[in-house]
Structure 1
Amino acid sequence: MNNLEEKRRAMVAMIEDWRSSGKSKKQYCLEKGINEAKFYYWYSRSKETESTPGVFIPIEKRSGTREIEVFYPNGVKLKVNGDLLLLSQLIRLY
């Protein structure tokens, strides 16, 4: 295991320890002797790993008609009656 991976694991453990402590970030850093800027850096990095960017959210096709509106940056507005294939084609147009 490389140094960066070890450091990342240690910092993730530190964030988990802070969360379970019930203390403010500032108070936790003071008590543990941690540089506040470093803590906030790793805190922001931990939030990045919590959300999984680039993951698609499935769209379930339901019975009944739903109207979906598409707003293009140039001001054009389209209404589509629940046809997901048509909707995907319209999104790719722009």
Structure 2
Amino acid sequence: MTIRYSRSERQQHLDAWQQSGLSKKHYCRLHDLNIATFYYWLKHQQVDATVTVPSAFIPAQRVTPENNDTDTVTLNLPNGCSVRCLPVQLRIVMQALSLC
């Protein structure tokens, strides 16, 4: 039997997954969702929206090193990892992280 989800329900699942820190596969198993359907939702959510910062991210901070190197942006993730990149790379990095 195929279950139809409203746009609101799909978005709730995507938001809950981002906040959970779980892999897509594990989240889908826990919520009895088809992984291919979940990827479809994720793809279409990204087409509809510009780069969004998942609510699970800790706010980014801009760091100016003392040795006068290029400014960098550091994203601190909830799992304790951090990602450092140049400000011009931030959009691409955020897109890549949203696919994880």
TM class, shorter-length: 0.3 to 0.5
- Tell me: higher relative CO, structure 1 or 2? Use CA pairs within 8 A at least 6 residues apart: 2
Richer in helix (by share): 1
TM-score of the superposition, structure 1-length normalised? 0.46
TM-score of the superposition, structure 2-length normalised? 0.44
